[in-house]
Amino acid sequence: MSTAQRRRTQVAIIGGGPSGLLLSQLLHRRGIDSIVIERRSKEHVLARIRAGILESGFVGLMREAGIAERMDRECFIHEGTMIAYDNRKFRVNFREHTGTDVVVYGQTEVTRDLYEAREKMGGAIDFNVDDVQIHDANGSAPYLTYEKNGTNHRIDCDFIAGCDGFHGVSRQAIPLSVRHEYEKTYPFGWLGVLSETPPVHEELIYANSTRGFALCSMRNASLSRYYIQCALNDSPDDWTDRMFWDELKRRIPEEDADRLVTGPSVEKSIAPLRSFVTEPMRWGRLFLCGDAAHIVPPTGAKGLNTAASDVHYLYTGLRQFYEDGDSDGIDRYSERALARVWKAERFSWNTTNLLHRFPSQTEFDLKMQRAELDFLRDSRDAQKVFAQNYVGLPY
């Protein structure tokens, strides 16, 4: 391999999504060099329709990374959320119970801001790469190889950050004799619709109904995101826009259904629900971040936020290593990240069980679910615990 195709950096980052880009931006502001590689195009990454709820910790990282200006200008600040059942709803007040709130700002916009920041700083990103391979991750001189436009490339580095998602190469690079995977699959999916319509409510509505779960969310004042629980074998083509809106109205309180503004879907998709964690999140000089290491059901909006907490722990550890010569942060990265990951998994799992209809539920199970909802509605202590988890546990 010619030297022209070989580069060196301190941290090689696999994955040009928000977690990889956020890590690179934070490192750059501390003078730590990185190169990002991404198997898809920039346009493809920006076309992904993803989460839009940012925990307070994520917002803090955006500010530390110097990319919060547009977010602060355009975001919605939510000081609570609505939970509906039996044709009525109650509010959990985040500000009252925790002193903080969450921000509604789409993942696409976060990613766009991160790309803009990286381009301004002249940071290296290689898009459309193929055949990414991780070498000597458990040794003292790790490196990546990949192919782009028929040319082979090599990146030598001190550390590798695997931010390449559930289907990426990073997790698979950890031997099966080392990694342990925990998984729960759910017997339903979420049918999601994006529409250029005003939100039905100023805050999110999480709805439990006899017909299944529904969620009313938004991206901005004229772009709404709605979801309904559906069968795993459903296809988006099975659902016309009219069918979707009619079903959504059946699952939310009548007062909200009556003022719901409907319109043509801009995007329609079905996502299965899964809880997944792999341990450890570090092998030698390879560190897993985000979906490469864990998946949560979307109930409670923990996916992107848990990736951000991984970035926090890894960024902090790398800073300590390069600035202070202290390896404690990277040595304990997996331990610290997983301690928070499992708490986020618990919240997502618990909230999913609270709000969905399961095929195997007995009458007793349904009574217990109803009792849980009643208890959350009536107990300030229960609402405080819910709020603490929703706005984000401390790093």
Annotated catalytic residues are: 78, 206, 298, 302, 390
Q: Are residues 251 and 210 in contact, defined by beta-carbon separation less than 8 angstroms?
A: no
Residue with tokens 């934070």, as numbered in its chain: 26
Q: Which residues pair with 152 in a beta bridge?
A: 147
- 341 neighbors 354 (Cβ within 8 angstroms): no
Question: What does 156-172 look like in DSSP terms, one character per residue?
Answer: E-SEEEE-S-TTSSTGG
Angle at 289 between CA 118 and CA 305, to 5 degrees: 80
Q: What is the DSSP string of 78-132?
A: ESEEEEEETTEEEEEEHHHHHS--EEE--HHHHHHHHHHHHHHTT-EEE-S-EEE
CA–CA distance from 141 to each of 22, 46, 54 (Å)?
24, 33, 36
Give the HSE-up count for residue 100: Cα atoms under 13 Å, Cβ half-sphere. Answer: 17
Give the span between the Cα atoms of 250 and 245, in whole angstroms.
Answer: 9
- Cβ neighbors of 126 (< 8 A, separation 6 or more) are 35, 36, 37, 38, 146, 148, 153
State the DSSP code for 4. Answer: G
